[in-house]
Amino acid sequence: MSKSKFARILALMLAFSLFAIGCGGGDDDSGSSASSSSESSSESSTSEASEEAPAEEEEAEEEAPAEEEAEEEAPAEEEEAEEAPIVETQEESTLEPVFGGTLRWGLEAEVDGINPTASALSAPGLTMMNAVFDTVAAFDVDGNWIPHLAESFTSSADCKTWTMKLREGINFHDGTPLNTEAVSVNFLSQFNDPLVGLAVKPYYASADEALTLVDDLTMDFNLLDANCNFPSILTGQLGAVGSPTWLAAALEDPTLDQQPVGTGPFVFESRTEDSVTTFVRNENYWGGDVYLDAIEFYPVTDGAVRTQLLLEGELDALATTDVESIARLAEEDSVTQVFDDTGDESFLMLNSSKAPFDDIRARQAITHATPRDNYNTLINLDVTRKADQMFTPESPYFNEDIVQLSDRPDLAGPLVDAYCQDNPDSCSGGKIDIEYQYSGPSVVGERVADLLVQGWSDFFNVDVQVLPQDQHIQEAAFGLYNSIGWRQFGAVNPGDDRVWLLCRAISGISLNWPRYCDEDRDAIVLQADAAKTVAEKTPLYQELSQMINEEYLYVFYNHTLWTISMAEGVENLCGVSTADGVKMRCQINGRTFFQSTFFTE
């Protein structure tokens, strides 16, 4: 099996880089989620966040001269040749598909359930979701939304009403028919969920006004704001459709969230949390032949262990963002890898709703003190591309004027001194007291924490907390953190990232994780949603990136490199097409599809 040019380069880089890093592995950040099944008594209202914003803006203006001087110096220090995107896919197999075999897939974490209307589905959950559910829309290989369970979408002239027509003759695994009533049940379940609802509600005036059921296969989505790419939001969790019969039973018995019933290519068989979840072939799949007998999903939080299991033949495939594991697998001629670094970003996220990061000086200080260069050298082997914003350099929306001022401890000291003088209860020994949280257990996560704590040590006293990914996500939703390792943004359609930014997404639990409300920023987001062309969107997204840069809520590390690695004999993972014959995008932030996959004999 021949290796790609990028894989060969990775293998060489690993050989030259191992002297600089310790042993171990594991994914070095955590996934974000559009859902959670937990509730919280903590409160942080939109109005409170709005009231705090002017004071923060005034502080930003006071510090602006020092920032401007640093920005003038930065280009000379940071000037680098623009790097190309890292995107490679598996070629469509020319072999005759073979029926049979069980695919053993390694996940980076366990999830709290597999119910798209109620569960916290980060990358591992979305991967399992794609086995058992179908979405009403999908993305083609060029990043355009296309119908999937739906037969068609049409919009009104103002992009505020979208009409969806479903394909005829599709049934859920339990025999319940797919129709508009079933979609409506899913929609209302999501709308009424405490956290999933925060992803849904910003699009609509109310649940009663949101949908119009025209007939069994035709329905309208009635949007609050114009959105000329609305179907793209239905390509993920919000577009997955579960059996209404199952959803009704799961409301009575929440343990059924672990036993999903969809229309997808595989049917749920069994699940032992923190061990294995098994799906078997749907013999009556509406989308055509499914070749594998079964898929078994194994959560293994440490990337190095997951990689070793693949090399030892205990797993057949995995997805990872751990660059050392990616490089190690690139050395193996028997392993095929699918690369993509044009999706989400890896960063430190700050909670603006409570001390110390409710004060922009503390947010600026930790940005300046963060050792991003060391992070990308020692953790990412200088393979990944550094990020200053949510867009990659080849994106038409990339703002080339933005520079994130990390690796500037000289700027951090005066800010910390001023903050501690004004807020002595939040400081000890002249340093700001903070907590840093990440998802684990993970050896690389530990190394990241050690590197950051060392880089911040002159300015911050850091208490490190490690949590399982599902609990990690819940604490972010409840605002129970200071600073947190995170992965987010990078939606194929940037408008779908609005849920992380809008003031509407802030509540007692929140998808606007930093709990920062800026009505001017919201206006830019909504204006971009209403735009129909790239030319119209470009200045808006560039202005949005500038606003995010000036708010100091995210300390960007790098554009995340996602890699799916497959053992020899795993064929045609990237060969999935819609019922109309349109080839679908192979992976989005580590999640993929399985109906075209087969083993060679």
Residue 154 inside a domain? The answer is no
Q: What is the pLDDT of residue 92?
A: 75
- Cβ-Cβ contacts under 8 Å for 442 (sequence gap 6 or more): 25, 26, 27, 28, 301, 302, 303
Nearest residue to 149 (alpha-carbon basis) of 179, 121, 119, 115: 179
What amino acid is encoded at 54 in this protein?
P
Residue 473 inside a domain? The answer is yes
Q: Residue 53 pLDDT > 80, yes or no? A: no
Residue 152 inside a domain? The answer is no
Percent of the chain with pLDDT over 70: 86
Between 203 and 44, the more confident residue is 203
- What's the mean per-residue pLDDT of the chain? 88
Q: In the predicted model, what is the mean pLDDT of residues 102-126?
A: 94
Other C-beta atoms lying within 10 Å of the C-beta of residue 493:
19
Residue 86 inside a domain? The answer is no
Residue 370 inside a domain? The answer is yes
Adjacent-strand bridge partners of 211: 221
What is the residue range of 408's domain?
Answer: 26-73+345-559
Render pLDDT for 376-426 as a digit per residue (tens, 0 to 9): 999 999 999 999 999 999 999 999 999 999 999 999 999 999 999 999 999
Residue 94 inside a domain? The answer is no
Residue 238 inside a domain? The answer is no
Q: In the predicted model, what is the mean pLDDT of residues 326-344?
A: 94
Q: Residue 81 pLDDT > 60, yes or no? A: no
Helices (H), 160-234: 180-192, 196-200, 207-210
d(CA 76, CA 85): 23
Q: What ranges make up the beta strands (E) of 440-502? A: 460-467, 483-488
Q: What is the pLDDT of residue 337?
A: 95
Task: Tell me the CATH number at 431.
Answer: 3.10.105.10
Residue 331 inside a domain? The answer is no
Domain count, the chain: 1
Q: What is the pLDDT of residue 93?
A: 77
Render pLDDT for 9-37 as a digit per residue (tens, 0 to 9): 555 555 444 433 333 334 555 444 433 33
Q: In the predicted model, what is the mean pLDDT of residues 572-585?
A: 96
Render pLDDT for 461-519 as a digit per residue (tens, 0 to 9): 999 999 998 899 999 999 999 999 999 998 999 999 999 999 999 989 999 999 999 99
Helix or strand or coil: residue 222? strand
Q: In the predicted model, what is the mean pLDDT of residues 305-329?
A: 96
Q: What is the pTM of this model?
A: 0.85
The region of weakest confidence among 147-156, 426-435, 438-447, 571-580 is 438-447
